Structure 1
Amino acid sequence: MYFLGIEFSGSEKDIHMCQRKYALELVSGLGLSGAKTAFTPLDFNHKLTSVEYDEAAKKTEDCKDPLLENRGSYQRIMGRYLYLTMTRPDLAFMVQVLSQYMHAPKQSHTDAALRVERYIKGSSGLGLFMPVGGKLSLTAFCDSDWVSCAETRKSVTGYLVKLDNALISWK
């Protein structure tokens, strides 16, 4: 059964929610159906920067990372990714990072977004599992990365909350 583009399938033990059809339409819409898949949405230690940061750090002379002429296409991709995060918490952090550059996207931001797309291609069936019945236990996890933002030197914190084995909240 589909509702708002989300596929619901269930059994007596659990309910699975995913956006497989939407994810595959997103991949084919960008022309990446034949592209290799990526195992992670972001390269290890990949830092993205804004134009303002590049100017302040004097990286503009030898930096070959131009601004996109048509930022609307980047913004549309980010909007589609935001909708996909409803059932894909594994994408939430990367989409949050990429959406910070929607006002002035550079080529490196588009390259990172296409890597996310290749990751989505390889993991299109992922979604949320909601167990039926069982004992209810609330579990929360938190993690932070101290001074991880190259521009502001701020820390990044994330959390997730599970009710039994079902994910109910994340950031």
Structure 2
Amino acid sequence: MIDQLKVILQDNFKNKDLGHLKYFLGIEVARSSEGIVLNQRKYALELVSKVGLSTAKPADTPLEQNLKLTSYEFDQKFPLDEKDELLTDPSMFRRMVGRLLYLTMTRPNISFAVQTLSQYMQSPKQSHLEAASRVIKYVKKEPALGLLMSAKSTKELVAFCDSDWASCAVSRKLVSGYCIKMGDSLLSWKSKKQNTIARSSAEAEYRSMAGTVAELIWLIGLLKELDVEAKISALLYCNNKAALQIAANLMFHERTKHIE
């Protein structure tokens, strides 16, 4: 099919076959007997250089532990003692977050930090800029980190999902995340703030499971279209016993009456 497509394209357009993919839109592709590695090393080093952090000390984590970022509007209603002024030029912060968003294509480990920072694009403060700089310092520590698409991967889909509960100080909404693997290869991942407010941790975890299952169903359909033999049944892991019991037996009780 690939050879037929190449012939059709060459008959209709002027093009050149450059062989195996090595570099495309900032993504580097390396092949070996172990599989295919995708990384954005060149893009990451350029990002560190552009923001002027080439001489900065690398950070061990993307965000500080227990860091609670708030919006400028929230600070106006509930003023704190610390001085945290608005940035005079917010364009620098917006460019940094935009570049980090593109980097998450091969760096799932910064997805949570980037989705947190992207909520403050409208009125960024000094604390937001410092947090974004820390993420870039973390990227600087190992710029060549990426994804391995293993050649020895099994055809079994495995998903992991988790959620916090009312962690956002401003909206009290939950952040849920998941990652889906085929064997040892990571296919899909997401870290996102949900649209609704969960009234219990069990409900928060259950909503996270529902979102993960929707992504699993879409992936299974895509694999069928590509003629990839994959097991229809997929394993879904969750660490909340109440949510697991609701998923196994959806009984009507207080915790489920508003998540039908």
Query: Is 1:31 paired with 2:34?
Result: no
**Structure-2 residue corresponding to 1:79:** 98
**Structure-2 residue corresponding to 1:46:** 67
Equivalent-residue separation in structure 1 for 2:140 and 2:60 (angstroms): 10
Alpha-carbon distance change, 111 to 134 in structure 1, aligned in 2, over 3 angstroms: closer
Q: Which runs of 5+ in 1 are unaligned?
A: none
How many positions carry a matched residue from both structures?
A: 169
RCO (CA 8 Å, sep 6+): is it higher in 1 or 2? 1
For normalisation by structure 1, the TM-score amounts to 0.95
Q: Which runs of 5+ in 2 are unaligned?
A: 1-21, 191-260
Letter in 2 for 1:81: L
Which of 31, 35, 43 is the aligned partner of 1:10? 31
CA offsets, 1:24-53, max 9 Å, x none? 111111111111110100000001000111
Equivalent-residue separation in structure 1 for 2:180 and 2:26 (angstroms): 24
**Structure-1 residue corresponding to 2:41:** 20
Fraction of identical pairs, as percent: 56
CA offsets, 1:61-118, max 9 Å, x none? x331000011111111111001101100111111100010001000000000000011
CA offsets, 1:118-143, max 9 Å, x none? 10000211111101244211110011
Kindly state the Cα deviation for residue 156 of structure 1 after the two structures are TM-superposed.
1.4
Which of 177, 181, 201 is the aligned partner of 1:162? 181
**Structure-2 residue corresponding to 1:111:** 130
CA offsets, 1:10-31, max 9 Å, x none? 1122100000111011111111
Equivalent-residue separation in structure 2 for 1:8 and 1:58 (angstroms): 49
Query: Is 1:139 paired with 2:154?
Result: no
Equivalent-residue separation in structure 2 for 1:155 and 1:134 (angstroms): 33
**Structure-2 residue corresponding to 1:120:** 139
Equivalent-residue separation in structure 2 for 1:139 and 1:23 (angstroms): 29
- Structure (1/2) with the larger strand percentage: 1
What RMSD in Å do the two structures reach over aligned CA positions?
1.0
Q: Which stretches of structure 1, 4 residues or more, deviate above 3 A after TM superposition?
A: none
Work out which of the two has the higher radius of gyration on C-alpha atoms and give 1 or 2.
Answer: 2
Kindly state the Cα deviation for residue 58 of structure 1 after the two structures are TM-superposed.
2.7
Equivalent-residue separation in structure 2 for 1:5 and 1:43 (angstroms): 28
Letter in 1 for 2:83: K
- Structure (1/2) with the larger helix percentage: 2
